[in-house]
Amino acid sequence: MRKILIVDDSTTIRKMVRASLRQLDDAEFVEAASGLAAIEQIALGPVALIVLDLNMPDMHGMDVLKFVRGHRASKDVPVMVLTTRGDDSSRDTALAAGATLYFTKPFTPPVLLAGAKDLLSGVGPQA
C-alpha cells in the first residue's frame, strides 16, 4: 500500500483531492490539516506521494517542503504543490525548493490524477 499524504487546511479541498485521486492503485490516503500534522505523518512512516497546499496558517507550505527535502526519510518523496491563481512567484520558489509538480487552484481533477500517476510510476521530473 502506498501512502498518499494530502496536506491542506481546507476540509473541502482535501476531500476534493482525495476524490480526484481515488482511482490510483494501491493507494492509502492520509490527510493533514496543518504543516505540523503533515510532518508528523512523515515521522510515523514512509510516504509515497505528498499533495501540498502552500498557503497554510500555522506553517507555510514552503517550510514544510523544505523540511521534507531536508529530512532523510522524505527527501526523495515526490511532492505536488498546490498554489493559488496568480501566485507565480510562489510557484517558482516552490520548484526551486524541490517541488516536483505544481498545480494552481482551482485544479482540474483529471490533470491532478494524471500527474499523480506519473510521479508514482517513476515517470516525469524527479525530486
Residue numbers of the site for another protein (CB under 8 A)? Answer: 9-13, 15-16, 19-20, 22-23, 33-37, 39-40, 42-45, 55, 57-59, 67, 71-73, 84-85, 105-110, 113
Q: How far is the CB of 116 from another protein (least distance, A)?
A: 12
Q: Check: CB of residue 72 under 8 Å from CB of residue 99.
A: no
Angle at which helices 61-70 and 88-96 cross, to 10°: 10
Q: How far is the CB of 1 from another protein (least distance, A)?
A: 15
State the greatest distance between any 2 C-alpha atoms of the chain, in Å, as a whole number. 36
Sequence letter at residue 49: L
Residue from 88, 118, 99 nearest 21 by CA: 118
CA–CA separation, 67 and 74 (whole Å)? 9
Sequence letter at residue 92: D
- Minimum CB distance to another protein smaller for 2 or for 105: 105
- Minimum CB distance to another protein smaller for 28 or for 125: 28
Q: How far is the CB of 123 from another protein (least distance, A)?
A: 20
Sequence letter at residue 91: R
- Minimum CB distance to another protein smaller for 33 or for 48: 33
For 109, the grid coordinates are 481533477
- Minimum CB distance to another protein smaller for 98 or for 109: 109
